[in-house]
Amino acid sequence: MNTRDKDYYNNISEDECYDIGLPEKKRFNKKKVLIALLTIIATLFCAALITLLLHTMLQPKPPVVKHLQPLGKQNFNIDYSYTEKLDTIIEGLNLTLYIPHNAIPAVTLGPPDTTNLPEETVLAFRAADLGQDYTTIIGLFVCDGIIYQSNKDSSSKLGFCAIIDNEITIGTAESTALFEKAIERDGSFFRQHSLVANDTLTAKVNTNTQPTLRRALCQRGNQIFVAVSDSVSMYNFAQALVVLDVENAVYLLGGHSNSKNTSHQGWWRDVNDSIELFRESKEYKSYKYESYIVWRKVK
């Protein structure tokens, strides 16, 4: 200890007390602590907000439910089955709509007895396409749970119609579980060209441009009907269906496929129980595997 330090300690009186070697206590900084707490809270809030936004964005959006007014003038005081015929014009294109009421959809196979039309049927149109030899069905085909065509190559026909437990579904897909379900539940299923899928036009512009008779199986809201137009290309026909607010539509046989007018075969029954045939010629050649989508009377 040097002389200066000795003099310092010698001058300390008996009643004085000093802490030797202890650091000076730091003051409690409330401002810094508050800023730190606010920073932590803000960080946690931002993290929670980002998590909530990501969760909301990843959630599947619910389908848009359209409240479309039914087409036609169904008389709810009539409890029997019939077909309503409605003529309309969409962007200069003449359309005829055949709207079944109080009827059950089904698919039948084989030519109907046109000399003695089935009394229970109120509407019938040709459904699936036949091959060039008219002995095979093009695309997947099930009728009453029985598989008649299992070829799953649907590259040319992405549209489908499934009827299961008397409920009809029209859609567009390369594959669908409704095919297997139709087999399990004794239902029906067939493939056709897609015209409209989820409110969007699917018919190709550069194909099927030749004007001819066109038919389509349509779903608009909760309503199912068949639309028909003559001397029109497939694209213009499908475009008119979109304007009509048709959400899903698949093609039905309609054009003059051969001299026997096989595509014209069918009929509809009006509210007065009168029948009109869809056939321009008395000549008609039937085929074993020609198919029909029909609506039958509710028994």
Instruction: Please report which helix (H) or strand (E) contains residue 240, including its range.
Output: helix 234-243
Question: Is residue 85 very low, low, confident or very high in pLDDT (cuts 50, 70, 90)?
Answer: very high
pLDDT of res. 60: 57
- The answer to whether residue 13 scores a pLDDT higher than 60 is no
CA neighbours within 13 Å on the CB side: how many for 154? 22
Please report whether residue 15 resides in a domain: no
Q: Compute the half-sphere exposure of residue 48: CA atoms within 13 Å on the CB side of its CA.
A: 6
Has residue 63 been placed in a domain? no
Please tell me the predicted confidence (pLDDT) of residue 254: 65
> Looking at residues 107-129, what average pLDDT do you find?
84
The residue ranking higher by pLDDT, 248 or 74, is 248
pLDDT at 75: 75
Position 294 pLDDT exceeds 90 = yes
- CA dihedral sign of residues 78, 79, 83, 84: positive
When pLDDT is cut at 50, 70 and 90, the band that residue 108 belongs to is very high
Residue 4 lies in a domain: no
Query: Predicted confidence band at 260 (pLDDT cuts at 50, 70, 90)?
Result: very low
| pLDDT value of residue 28 | 56
Rounded mean pLDDT of the chain?
A: 81
| pLDDT the model gives residue 1 | 53
In a domain, 62, yes or no: no
132-174 per-position pLDDT tens digit: 888 889 889 999 999 999 876 656 789 999 999 999 999 999 9
The residue range of the domain holding 279 is 82-297
Residue 243, pLDDT above cutoff 60: yes
* Predicted confidence (pLDDT) at residue 112 exceeds the cutoff of 70: yes
Element (H, E) at 183: helix 178-184
User: What pLDDT sits at residue 119?
Assistant: 78
- Could you tell me if residue 25 is inside a domain? no
pLDDT at 53: 75
In sign, the C-alpha dihedral spanning 144, 159, 211, 214 is positive
Q: Which residue has the higher pLDDT, 37 or 142?
A: 142
Amino acid at site 212: T
Residue 259 pLDDT class (50, 70, 90 cuts): very low
Q: How many domains does the chain have?
A: 1
- 167 falls within a domain: yes
Q: Is residue 67 part of a domain?
A: no
Confirm whether 93 is domain-assigned. Answer: yes
pLDDT recorded at residue 38: 79
Contact 227, 241 (CB under 8 A): yes
Mean pLDDT value across residues 219-227: 95
Q: What is the pLDDT of residue 267?
A: 87
pLDDT, mean of residues 219-248: 94
* Digit-coded pLDDT (tens) for 177-211: 999 999 999 999 999 999 999 999 998 766 667 88
